[in-house]
Amino acid sequence: MLIRSDDSGFIHPRSSEITPRAAYEGRRDMLKLLAGGMAGAALASWAARDALAQATAPGKLAALQGQKSAVPGAQTMEKLTDYKDATSYNNYYEFGTDKGDPVKNAGTLKTRPWTVEVEGLVKKPGKYGIEDLIKLSAQEERIYRLRCVEGWSMVIPWVGYSLAELIKRVEPQGSAKYVEFVTLADPKTMPFVGSRVLDWPYAEGLRMDEAMHPLTLLTFGMYGEVLPNQNGAPVRIVVPWKYGFKSAKSIVKIRFVEKEPGTAWNKAAAQEYGFYSNVNPNVDHPRWSQATERRIGDGSGLFAKRHKTLMFNGYEPQVGQLYAGMDLKKFY
């Protein structure tokens, strides 16, 4: 299933296996344009570039500001990743498998109305409209590193509040041991849902104590604005000490369960992606090292400066005790 690799060695699915109808149609349109002559094609690529510049400039979306967070670990002196890079270099497989696909394709995502259903082993299950969910607790700005399993990272000012705020309100039952996040899978607006690259909907999960940890952020915005679609609008999770794929985008269900839930990447390649997926420079991915990372914006290719990857992505003082006594080579 996974055959093509980029500079990190990460293997992507072959596009011919997963090309949806929309992509075929796009290609047909492009052929028509080419037949229309170079002028047409040049105009089209100019228009595409213009649209991209629009989509990746800050100040276009609704403001969503948060107070500076006092949660330990939620601030950093590191240079922020440029908004443009954070919004145009994405993983959001529902909209395509290339880093530039989500910004081009996620315009179709309809983020209003939006409901998040809280269900399973809780005393107060319910449906939350997105506007009510945003107002449930005070918004905070948290500057977190996001470290992708592919070997790159960004530093992003996220806006949201601790997931624990929501969890406390819905009162989990004693039998609830894990929290599962189910994300939107809408074949009408998401061109790659239906492709065989992952088992849709994209789902993720956390152990209850991980979900309750104050650093786990229910996230509605970044850079003082609501989330752009490609970054998981209107609500996602950000778990800063875990590889980026644990931070599920565009969540529609939060489910409290007794048993460890299946997760999208674990189902796709169990020997490569475990349930825990803590950032750990001492546990290599079976096909590449996790010792270092490339900071997006620092340049690319062979000469890009690489940073040492830190245990738990640098959040060890805050989260290390959650895993005391666990063999992290076994629970990877």
Ligand X SMILES: Nc1nc2c(c(=O)[nH]1)N[C@H]1C(S)=C(S)[C@@H](COP(=O)(O)O)O[C@H]1N2
Q: Applying CB under 5 A, does 86 fall inside the site for Mo ion?
A: no
- Near ligand X by CB under 6 A: residue from 153, 216, 231, 263: 231
Smallest separation, CB 322 to Mo ion (Å): 21
Looking at the chain, how many residues does it have? 332
> Cβ(200)–Cβ(173) under 8 Å?
no
CB neighbour burial string for 13-34, b if at least 16 within 10 angstroms, e if fewer: beeeebebeebeeeeeeeeebe
H or E, element range at 220: strand 217-222
Smallest separation, CB 33 to ligand X (Å): 29
Q: Alpha-carbon distance 294 to 213, whole Å?
A: 27
Q: Alpha-carbon distance 85 to 65, whole Å?
A: 20
> Cβ(284)–Cβ(290) under 8 Å?
yes
- Near Mo ion by CB under 5 A: residue from 148, 184, 226, 279: 148
Q: Is 183 annotated as a binding residue?
A: yes
User: Which is nearer to ligand X, 128 or 245 (by Cβ)?
Assistant: 245
Smallest separation, CB 75 to ligand X (Å): 19
User: Which is nearer to ligand X, 105 or 231 (by Cβ)?
Assistant: 231
Q: Is 248 annotated as a binding residue?
A: yes
Q: Alpha-carbon distance 251 to 258, whole Å?
A: 20
Six-digit token pair at 306?
């690489």
Q: Applying CB under 6 A, does 279 fall inside the site for ligand X?
A: no
User: Which is nearer to ligand X, 195 or 250 (by Cβ)?
Assistant: 250
User: Which is nearer to ligand X, 101 or 140 (by Cβ)?
Assistant: 101
Strand ranges in 55-137 using DSSP code E only, listed in sequence order:
67-68, 115-120, 126-129
Beta bridge partners of residue 2, listed in sequence order: 13
Q: Applying CB under 5 A, does 245 fall inside the site for Mo ion?
A: yes
281: DSSP letter: T
Q: How many residues bind ligand X (CB under 6 A)?
A: 17
Q: What is the residue type of 290?
A: Q
Q: Applying CB under 6 A, does 105 fall inside the site for ligand X?
A: no
- Near ligand X by CB under 6 A: residue from 145, 213, 242, 249: 249
The residue ranges that bind ligand X (CB under 6 A) are 90-94, 146, 148, 183, 202, 231-232, 244-245, 247-250
- Binding positions for Mo-molybdopterin are 90, 93-94, 148, 183, 231, 236, 247-249
